[in-house]
Amino acid sequence: MVASSNNALYCSVTRRCPDPEPDLTATCVYKPVLGERPLDDFPDGTLAYREVAAHVVSEAIGWRIVPPTVLRDGPSGEGMVQLWIEPDPAVDPLDLLRASDPALRRMALFDAIVNNADRKVGHLLPVPGGHVYGVDHGICFSDEPKLRTVLWNWRGDRFSTDEMQALGGLRDEMDGALAGGLATLLAPSEVLAISDRLDQLLGSGRFPRPDPERPAIPWPPF
């Protein structure tokens, strides 16, 4: 994928099934650890694990924001493998953003939870039926505040009852098996920071506002 900065490869994955069942094949994105571009503010060789961790949190909260994502060995070594999502060509993500689409509200809250430092318009994948997937979560989960996103439409708004319940349920899971699973993908301080962010969100009851001391929008925004 030419536009990728981390050697993302467009691939297929196949599950061999016993006769007479047909083999199962899916299109996917494969980002090998060896192809990751070093960053100044994230440890080398960790982006694939962060992508998988984002899927784990997405599933735990029940919002299916991140497509199915796993760690797998491949032609270029271990890496992140994510189901390819074909967006609806009739829907412009910018139109959803301008209209403050409810699907993006959930994504904005998800980004606050995972401390997404790179939510761009091009990372929004609307599909038929109204669901919107989010991709490219390699620079999430820092234990320092780094939220940079184009989804500031709801800044300062109060959470709905459903949102508060979702946050509370996720916080409870962080005291159990969820934290243990994330500990295999993230540094201990980063796992603790997830619980801290959830506590802060539950305490304020509101969407975060941009921090005037640091950039609030990634560049380029698309």
- Per-residue tens of pLDDT for the chain, all 222 residues: 756 667 899 999 888 999 888 999 999 999 999 989 889 889 999 999 999 999 999 999 999 999 999 999 988 999 999 999 999 999 999 999 999 999 999 999 999 999 999 999 999 999 999 999 999 999 999 999 999 999 999 999 999 999 999 999 999 999 999 999 999 999 999 999 999 999 999 999 999 999 999 999 998 898
Angstrom distances, CA of residue 125 to CA of 18, 42, 85, 152, 184: 34, 25, 7, 18, 28
Report the pLDDT value the prediction gives residue 190, as an integer from 0 to 100: 98
Measured in degrees and rounded to the nearest 5, phi and psi for residue 82 equal: -130, 140
Cβ contacts of 34 within 8 Å, gap of 6 or more: 7, 76, 77, 79
pTM: 0.94
d(CA 220, CA 150): 10
Report the pLDDT value the prediction gives residue 194, as an integer from 0 to 100: 98
The residue ranges of every structural domain in the chain are 9-204
Confirm if 48 and 64 have CB atoms less than 8 A apart: no
